[in-house]
Chains A and B, each alone.
Chain A
Amino acid sequence: MKNILTVENVYKNYGNFTALNNVSIAVPEGSIFGLLGPNGAGKTSLIRIINQITLPDSGHIFLDGEKLKQNHIKDIGYLPEERGLYKSMKVGEQALYLAQLKGMSKIEAKKKLLYWFDKFEIRDWWNKKIQELSKGMAQKVQFIVTVMHEPKLLIFDEPFSGFDPINANLIKDEILKLRDDGASIIFSTHRMESVEEMCDYIALINKSNKILDGKLSDIKHQFKENKFEVGLLSTNKEDLYNQIRSKFSVENSVSNSFNADLRLLVSLKENETSTDLIRFLNSKAQITHFTEIIPSANDIFLKAVATNE
């Protein structure tokens, strides 16, 4: 698959502080790529380098196969985490200005803006000043400004902060729609449930180093621990529990079951398969529940960072 963005062996130092240490990532075209990491890991430094706000000390970046250059500014849309607008400038005027800075013509920009303003039902804000809008309203304008020039690559840094759940959902749907329309998206956030929902690929950066990257489903596969949650219906739960414990390693499950069945977390060893477990359980009691435990993005994040420390 073609990569829209390739970052190769990037180093960045600020004085004695290393912000990025030999970081390489590849963002496949048409995907949502989660850029994850604890605070201060180096995500923003990397994003700023991709946006040509700062230059890397060494390393190469390619956008759509070409070496990153000034002209690529129009191909990237960036919603920074620290964002704002000119407070005393009118919404429409300001959006036009920012669109023109991205290289759009005034006429083209106005057409696009009206489309988005209608879509978000905010057309009557055109002549309002930003300081008259609420934070969430300003965020909507900000989102439009980021996407209106239809860039190949969109970078969202914490896009949902400042939105209520309804509008966060609206924005989420728009981001997914942009991906379906062919845009590639880099998505940096601490909200793991949205990573789970939206990201196709992820990269994890910790303390200036990339410690993990790949397709989210592959990574999950890689991080799963051969653990199964099972539910069993039995008249003598204690006896059953002891029988299973003699054969497999077992923890009590945290989740409460609907009917009063026995819920257990069973970890299999390398030489054991799920078939073995099912066969064994089936011979002992009626199975009401059987799921493999897939680690959440959150678990992976915590585990990967902890191993890296």
Chain B
Amino acid sequence: MNKLKLIIRREFYAKVKNKSFIVMTILSPLLMVGLVALIIFLNDKNSEEVRTIAFVDESHEFSTTFADSNTTKYIDLTALGIEEAKIKANEFYYGLLYIPKSDSLSVLSKGIAFYSKDAPSLNLLNSIENKLEKKIRNLKIEQLHIDVSKIKATETVVNIATENFIGEKSSKIGSVLRMAAGGGFGYLIFMFIIIYGTSVMRSVIEEKTSRIIEIIISSVKPFELMLGKIIGNALAGILQFIIWMIIGGAILFTVTLFFGSDAVQSTNAMPITPDVVQQVQETTGNNLQLVLQEIKNLPILTMFFSFIIYFLGGYLIYSSIYAAIGAAVDSETDTQQFMMPVLMPLVIAIYVGFSVIENPHGPIALGFSLFPLTSPIVMLMRIPFGVPWWQIAISMVLLIITFVAIVWFAAKIYRVGILMYGKKPTYKELYKWLKY
């Protein structure tokens, strides 16, 4: 046991003291934040550009429909007539909106056209269409002599409150929350396995190429060395993730402190009318409590414990496969052939995971959350939606059995592989190694 501790400590320090580890640990969150900042900045720049839209309104009904906003200005060119307006708009403005004159509003709405040099932005078109639709609807209501205030009175905002048969309340926000929690955990495991599994493999290859391996295993059992490596790398990984969270949190905190409201608002490039603002406030005001309620409703304890078990199981299974691959080859370039079959189930798990969010209890979801090579990711994505305990139990039992079997196989291949130099082994040879 004491030797295992020594190995873990060495592997941990070897990883943590590595320059690229230090650089990655500090730089990654900065890069991420920088990237987000860049996107916000570009978005900002983009929306700072003011577009001027000219319009020719032959019906004379829409002159008040188009109010200037931060990003769009409207100029009435009705007096010039359509042909001349086209020439002028082509020269000076972003585009020209043409509204014909017609007795029938339906005919009129079909005759509306927009001219521009380049294909117009979809957002802009949508916004203009919305405005026109609203206006035409009001005009139609007027034509039909319906009391507008009565119509207003019929408008309601519906937020369907869903509840399952045993009385737990849920909502759309709850579903989003579940997706985020499940997806987040699943993705975390996926990333961790890939990053630190590869790092275990590199470390095995390093020992092989530097030829220290025979000295080490004349002092410790190969299995101890493999285990120490896997645990040491995992600890380094956990440390890195914690540092990332701290740095990320600190940066996020600073950013919101200084540019907070500004940054948040500028991402909302759409013009915000007071009407919309009020509506948004109303819903979020109501929903804040709902969100808290939903968080309380999540099976947090189950999620936490299953995260730990699936994280350990998944990481140990995959990293011991990685260790075996590292032992089987002489250099990293030779690993490709063996990496594919390892990456496949992981990638499939992530894809399946996203469809699981749509249908958390379907047969695909069930199957992949029981299959041990994908269950750490898929089951974690399902758990927030509520999974019967017996499914979790079966999945965990399968996971543990597979874990023991794979570690056993990997240790055998590892034990033989670390002392083999030269030719890259075939699968058939790997099978033979199991019997040595």
Contact = CB atoms under 8 A, between A and B. Distances in A.
A78 B218 contact: yes
B144 interface: no
B220 interface: yes
A86 B436 contact: no
Interface in B181-236: 206-207, 210-212, 214-222
Nearest to A79: B215
B114 interface: no
Contact of A101 (B207, B210, B219, B222): B219
B3 interface: yes
B210 A76 contact: no
A98 B214 contact: no
A83 B219 contact: no
B41 interface: no
B219 A98 contact: yes
Contacts of B3: 101
A258 interface: no
Given A53-B419, A86-B210, A101-B220, A15 B215 contact: no
Contact of A145 (B14, B215, B222): B215
Q: Which of B212, B220, B221, B419 has the most CB of A within 10 A?
A: B212
A65 interface: no
Contacts of A14: 436
B335 to A, nearest CB: 20
A260 to B, nearest CB: 55
Q: Which of B6, B206, B210, B222 has the most CB of A within 10 A?
A: B210
B241 interface: no
A80 B14 contact: no
Nearest to B17: A88
Contact of A102 (B219, B221, B421, B436): B219
Contact of B214 (A70, A80, A101): A80
Contact of A86 (B14, B214, B222, B421): B14
B215 A78 contact: yes
Interface residues of B, number: 25
A82 B436 contact: no
A84 interface: yes
A127 B7 CA distance: 20
B219 A86 contact: no
Given A15-B432, A53-B217, A97 B6 contact: yes
A73 B14 contact: no
Contact of A73 (B18, B212, B219): B219
A145 B214 CA distance: 13
A217 interface: no
Contact of A85 (B10, B212, B419, B432): B212
Contacts of B221: 70
Interface in A93-107: 97-98, 100-102
Interface in A127-145: 142, 145
A80 B6 CA distance: 22
A83 B209 CA distance: 10
Contacts of A80: 211, 214-215, 218
Nearest to B209: A84
Interface residues of A, number: 27
Interface in B1-24: 3, 6-7, 10, 14, 18
B210 A85 contact: yes
B135 to A, nearest CB: 72
Interface string B79-102: 000000000000000000000000
Nearest to A76: B218
A35 B432 CA distance: 29
A87 interface: yes
Interface in B213-264: 214-222
Nearest to A13: B436
B104 to A, nearest CB: 82
A62 to B, nearest CB: 18
Contacts of B10: 97
A89 interface: yes
Interface in B388-424: 419, 421
B6 A86 contact: no
A278 B215 CA distance: 56
B150 interface: no
A123 B421 CA distance: 34
A15 B436 contact: yes
Interface string A1-40: 0000000000000110000000000000000000000000
A156 B18 CA distance: 33
B212 A83 contact: yes
Contacts of B217: 53
Contacts of B222: 53
Interface string A51-90: 1111000000000000000100100101010111111110
B6 A84 contact: no
A86 B13 CA distance: 13
Given A53-B218, A73-B218, 7 more contacts: A15-B432, A15-B436, A53-B419, A78-B215, A80-B218, A86-B14, A142-B215
Interface of A: 14-15, 48, 51-54, 70, 73, 76, 78, 80, 82-89, 97-98, 100-102, 142, 145
8 contacts: A53-B214, A53-B222, A70-B221, A87-B206, A88-B14, A88-B18, A100-B6, A101-B7
